[in-house]
Chain A
Amino acid sequence: MGEETKTKILREVRKDFLQELLKKGKRFDERNMNDWRPVEVQKGAIKSAEGSALAEIGGTKVVAAVKFGIMTPFPDRPNEGVFMTGAEFVPFASPGFETGPPGEDAIEFARVVDRGIRSAEVIDVSKFFIEEGKVLGLFLDLWVLDYCGNLMDTGSLAACAALLDAKVPKIEDGNIVRGEYVGGLDMKYKPLTTSFIKVGNHFLMDPSRDEEYAKDMTLTIGSVEGKVASIQKSGDAGLSKDNVLELVDVAFEKSDELRKYL
């Protein structure tokens, strides 16, 4: 009896019960419909990285780390630095996580967080050019340590905090001088995501793990300064155009609340 099958069965069990609660306007825990769970951000959590943060939303914990390295540029962008996002679902983070290379969920997670940051154009990769054939690469790693629901938003929060914490290393003679820095990334905006799950006819933001068992679909909206920077819909069910626009409005408001923790 694999974890996946158990998850599917538990999903039906929780869905019925959650829908009954939702009719009365309640969620499993005692939140209002549009409340964040408790949030904590610890910047500089990893001293070996040039920027880092541990972010926690309602028990879900993600460590984001920024490392710089010298790389050859992409052939179609020879004068730009490289920005790459990787993610790992560490096996102890959830009974359902397996060892091995990142699966489709981990890959989607990394790419969606990356997209929100890239669209907001907060990292100026043109500043990372060193000399012909050599550019600075920024490696952003998202390490999921504890999965209690809503990975996307916790990951984005950790990523943004780590980028804000990051210090760009000094380059001398085409090499990185470890331990010496020339300043931060000077980010103009703080890109964050806000995620919603659909349960029957209700949309719940910041779903807990229990609530995620009952979901029909997820919508993640990345935003900066009143603009939409990324959208990702995942899961089986569909939603209406009005739904999307309503959720965008909520996302603008709610991500601002989250920015206070940065």
Chain B
Amino acid sequence: MEKPELIKDGKRLDGRTPKDIRPLRIEAGVLNEAEGSALVEWGGNKVLAGVYGPRECIPRHLSDPYKARLKVRYTMAPFCSPGEHSRSGPNRRSIEISKVIREAFEPVVMTHLFPRSQIEVYIEVLQAEGGTRVASLTAAAVALADAGIPMKDMVSAIAVGKLDGQVVVDLGKDEDNYGESDVPMAITHRGKEIVLLQMDGLLSREELAQNLDDAIEGCEKVYEIQADALRKTYEKEERGKLKL
């Protein structure tokens, strides 16, 4: 496919300005069984996260006598992309993403409170449109809070990058494939600590610095929506109501 013109007259393919975030909707407590859960609808992404734990660590020999073991599994459903039906099951990409998401939560989840146990986060991407890993991380953070897992801080994520020479926020459909750079990032709200950072493409030092600032700013917006979703669960009567 020919590379589309990604920015024209300050407008992106979907009409957004460089700093606009796609429509983001978050609901917490959307499942009955999972101890904590969250739905994130971000642009064309639909991601569901569910949390169990702390519960018995399996296998036993991997349990840590001083803290809970964090397990994260990120998967994409075979029907999540508008193109071909893909195979289900983990692949190299999903294994790497599971790892970096887990590592993003290690500094914030207070695992030392639950020795010899495990906390599991399962993330299922039901619909994908660019930025699934940051949507997944955002959902996982809300699901962990919904489960009552104590955390020192709240984590929010966003992907920033460069399109046609311009620095932009929240890469969407086609932008992460055809853009010049893709920088997914996750930051803690209070401490402003970067807990996930990846990058591909080519950026000058100034461009990267701009990206980091933009991501911090963008994550603030994401945080507000996450916090809102958690506060709202107490106003609504029903848990376990899911509307995709």
Contact = CB atoms under 8 A, between A and B. Distances in A.
Contacts, number: 104
A93 B33 contact: yes
Contact of A46 (B46, B51, B89, B243): B46
A63 interface: yes
A86 B78 contact: yes
B114 interface: no
Contacts of B73: 91, 99
B84 A47 contact: no
Contacts of B83: 178
Nearest to B128: A48
A156 B49 CA distance: 24
Interface residues of A, number: 38
Given A90-B124, A146-B33, A147-B33, A48 B80 contact: yes
- A interface majority secondary structure: strand
- B interface majority secondary structure: loop
Contacts of A61: 31, 242
Contact residues on B (Cβ < 8 Å of other chain), bracket: 35 or more
Contact of A69 (B82, B84, B126, B129): B84
Interface in B198-244: 240, 242-244
B231 to A, nearest CB: 23
A214 interface: no
Contacts of A52: 79
Contacts of A68: 85
A59 B37 CA distance: 14
Contacts of B243: 42, 54
Contacts of B37: 92
Interface of B: 31-34, 37, 44, 46, 48-52, 55-56, 73, 77-85, 88-89, 120, 122, 124, 126-129, 240, 242-244
